[in-house]
Amino acid sequence: MRNDQVASIYRKIQQQICTELETADGHAVFKTDHWENEIGYGYTMVLDQGDAIEKAAVNFSAVRGKVSERMRKALRIDEGEAYFATGISSIIHPRNPHAPITHMNVRYFQLSSGKAWFGGGIDLTPHYVNKQQARWFHQELKNLCDQYDADFYPNYKQWADTYFYLQHRKETRGVGGIFFDHQDGSSDAGFQKFYAFTQALAKAYPRIYTELLTLNRDKECTKEEKRWQDLRRGRYVEFNLLYDRGTKFGLESNGRTESIFLSMPPMASWTYDFQAEKGSPEEATLNLLKKDIDWIHIT
């Protein structure tokens, strides 16, 4: 069955991601928490207090149940009384404020009606935006997308700009990436295409992040830069609590609370009416937290 097929390969990729991130950090190892409950099972993998990675989480789950009315509205479900969902979701919070936060998820959702779809994405949230590194990140995503469909990168990049946006702040969460949802998993051709694409995306994730971590992990940083890191982490918390679909689905489906909130940073802060100093790196970053920036051609 497709459900078991997708869940099995996603679980294997989860383990591959953890192995690569352990190598990248060079010190800490992931702890495994295997859980089971009335709706399914999962493996919550957590790396804590590493040499370069302060906190990383790589979640895998496979769950099923009845579609509640709140879930139907939240996920735009118009048919089917029961669902199956499986996926991988991951975040990385680095120690050094010059290294970026990153997030990745891939997921497969199937309804009892037979309708099914894939979703997912990857995005980058630098505390300090480095244009050259943002350009490289987006080029890597475009190269991957183009292997499957030339329309993927432009469409999914725009979707990410819209999705990873803090409406109440009028700023993007970071430099974006790609985001997609409700992509055809019902037809044979659609299933094979997005099944392969989501695997490739998940496998590319640790390689891409390792490159950025290596470039930034040993840079000198000041107390002021660490305080800025905590402020930017606060924005990350705001997005996850107010807008993140994975958080909403987890709570609506009676998911495991500890796993749902693993995306939160180990430390975050809020300063009333913070104003960046004119001409500062902080102001430069805030000025780049906007939709529709062509990162591949930015100068």
More confident residue, 249 or 9: 9
CB 215 within 8 Å of CB 136: no
Residue 127 annotated among the catalytic residues of the structure = no
Mind listing the pLDDT tens digit for each residue in 68-108? 777 777 677 777 789 999 999 999 999 999 999 999 999 99
53 closest CA partner among 18, 17, 28, 36: 28
Q: Are strands 53-66 and 82-94 parallel, antiparallel or unpaired?
A: antiparallel
Percent of the chain with pLDDT over 90: 85
For residue 257, what pLDDT band results from cuts at 50, 70 and 90?
confident
- How much is the pLDDT for 74? 65
Q: What residues does each domain of the chain span?
A: 2-297
What number of CA atoms fall less than 13 Å from residue 244's CA on the CB side?
24
What pTM was computed for the model?
A: 0.94
Predicted pLDDT of residue 235: 96
Give the tens place of pLDDT for each residue, 178-215: 999 999 999 999 999 999 999 999 999 999 999 999 99
- Predicted confidence (pLDDT) per residue in 270-280, tens digit: 999 999 999 99
In the prediction, which pLDDT does 281 show?
97
pLDDT tens-place string over residues 141-165: 999 999 999 999 999 999 999 999 9
Give the model's pLDDT for residue 258.
82
Residue 61 pLDDT exceeds 90: yes
Name the active-site residue from 98, 103, 127, 138: 103
Round to whole Å and give the CA distance between 178 and 161: 8
CA atoms of 124 and 127, how far apart (whole Å)? 10
Question: 116, 271 in Cβ contact below 8 A?
Answer: no
Look at residue 19 and give its three-state secondary structure.
Answer: helix
Q: Band of the pLDDT at 42, cuts 50, 70, 90?
A: very high
Amino acid symbol at 6? V
- Evaluate whether the domain defined by 2-297 bears CATH number 3.40.1500.10: yes
- The reported pLDDT for the residue numbered 268 is 96
Q: Is the pLDDT of residue 252 over 80?
A: no
Q: Which residues of 156-183 are buried (b: 16+ CB within 10 A; e: fewer)?
A: bbebbbebbbbeeeebbbbbbbbbbbeb
SS (H, E, C) the chain: CHHHHHHHHHHHHHHHHHHHHHHHHCCCCCEEEEEEECCEEEEEEEEECCCCEEEEEEEEEEEEEECCHHHHHHCCCCCCCEEEEEEEEEEEEECCCCCCEEEEEEEEEEECCCCEEEEEEEEEECCCCCHHHHHHHHHHHHHHHHCCCCCHHHHHHHHHHHHCEECCCCEECCCEEEEEEEEECCCHHHHHHHHHHHHHHHHHHHHHHHHHHHHHCCCCCCHHHHHHHHHHHHHHHHHHHHCCHHHHHHHHCCCCHHHHHHHCCCCCCCCCCCCCCCCCHHHHHHHCCCCCCCHHHCC
